[in-house]
Structure 1
Amino acid sequence: MQDFSLYFQLGWQHILDWRGYDHILFVMVLCGTYSISEWKKVLILVTAFTVGHSITLALSVLNYIHINTPLVEFLIPLTILITSASNILNKKPKKNGIQFKYILALFFGLIHGMGFSNYLKTILGKSSSIVAELFAFNVGLEFGQIIIVAGTLITSFILIWIIKIKKWDWTFFLSSAVFGISFIMAAERLHALL
């Protein structure tokens, strides 16, 4: 049980670490089109992302897949860029677009999971039994993501319902800001691929 709390703590601290803000930006922009009343949809969306990154995190840590670190480090801001652009371009999302968003979040989670794997491998070392640790770390990541979601939805609520900013203006502002940041991150990481 002590190991669970340790890896749980490492998980949420890793996702909330401002030095690795790319994951924070992704979760923020992923739920940036939703209002606080749509929290169930957001929770499903973030869980789809968690399932995706849990799969590749497990496969990588267990050495079933081997990652090209510079490629993954470039693809992570690219996923943020695509999600931001999608928010900006889809001013009036279609109903079936929700299912596509879930699939996209799952797929992008696969990429982000590979980014977490190097961090977790260094912590686990050469440990032979890592299932419980991997589970605890993923639960911690999910907990951290829920904190980011709550912060984003509360900010959205304050801006839209109390300050009376239009929902589209908030979505456009958040998505545009994150788009700009992720564009710079992708450009900076591109040289490592060449």
Structure 2
Amino acid sequence: MSDLLAFVQLGVRHILDVEAVDHILFLVALAAIYRPRDWRAALWVVSAFTVGHSVTLALAVTGVVRFPGRVVEFLIPVTIVATAIANVARGRRGVGVHGGRRRAVRALLAGAFGLVHGAGFANYLRDVFVDRVALPLFGFNVGIEIGQVVVLVAAFAALALLDRAIAVARRGVGDALPWRVVGVSAAVAVVAARWAVERAPW
């Protein structure tokens, strides 16, 4: 049990570590389109992201697939930029995330992008999984999910404050959400695009 808890703690620390800021920024990009009351939909999408990165993490640490580190580190910010651009497009159209099809598409994209992020986690963990795989992999993924929920809660709190500030600035005229979605997503896209340029493997 203590070994399991150790790997859970490792997962939590990894997602909350300053070195994992690209993963945190991706979670912010995922959350940017939701209101706090939409937390179930956001959690569903983040869980799809977890499933995606769990698949590639398992494949990588068991030696089934080996991903080139430089390419993975480049693709991670590309997934952030793609998510942010999708947010901006939706924000400009008035924002809509409640339709079943839209939710499903967003979850599928998060899962697909999770495959890329899982390869990044694998580069960090490959030396940790020496003899055993199942217990460390399970514990680390549980820790990652806990850390992601913490990031999601913090993001929702910050976004709610931003909504209030926008509403005050606009004197309560119109919905603050589209403005917030476009503003936050554009800022995230600029930061991630810079990372992508800096990490370009060519």
Relative to the length of structure 2, the TM-score reads 0.90
Cα distance in structure 2, aligned partners of 1:84 and 1:138: 25
In structure 1, what is the equivalent of residue 153 of structure 2?
150
Superposed CA offset, 1:80-119 (max 9, x none): 0000000001123362222110000000000100000011
Given the superposition, is the C-alpha separation of residues 163 and 178 from structure 1 closer, same or farther in structure 2, using an over 3 Å criterion?
closer
In structure 2, what is the equivalent of residue 66 of structure 1?
66
SS at match of 2:33: coil
In structure 1, what is the equivalent of residue 171 of structure 2?
none
In structure 2, what is the equivalent of residue 159 of structure 1?
162
Q: Does 1:168 align with 2:178?
A: yes
What is the one-letter code of the residue matched to 1:151? Answer: A
* Counterpart pick for 1:183 among 187, 190, 193: 193
In structure 2, what is the equivalent of residue 105 of structure 1?
110
Question: For residues 95-134 of structure 1, what are the structure 2 equivalents within 5 Å?
Answer: 95=99, 96-124=101-129, 126-127=130-131, 129-134=132-137
Cα distance in structure 1, aligned partners of 2:19 and 2:137: 22
Relative to the length of structure 1, the TM-score reads 0.93
Cα distance in structure 2, aligned partners of 1:29 and 1:57: 22
In structure 1, what is the equivalent of residue 173 of structure 2?
none
Question: For residues 6-21 of structure 1, what are the structure 2 equivalents within 5 Å?
Answer: 6-21=6-21
**Alpha-carbon offset, residue 134 of structure 1:** 0.5
Cα distance in structure 2, aligned partners of 1:163 and 1:188: 33
Q: Does 1:138 align with 2:141?
A: yes
Aligned residues: 190
Following TM superposition, the consecutive aligned residue runs of length 4 or more in structure 1 with deviations greater than 6 angstroms are none
- CA RMSD of superposed structures (Å): 1.4
In structure 2, what is the equivalent of residue 78 of structure 1?
78
In structure 1, what is the equivalent of residue 172 of structure 2?
none
Gaps of 5+ in 2: 169-175
SS at match of 2:127: helix
SS at match of 1:90: helix
**Alpha-carbon offset, residue 156 of structure 1:** 1.8
Gaps of 5+ in 1: none
What is the one-letter code of the residue matched to 1:147? Answer: V
Identical columns (%): 37
**Alpha-carbon offset, residue 161 of structure 1:** 4.5
SS at match of 1:56: helix
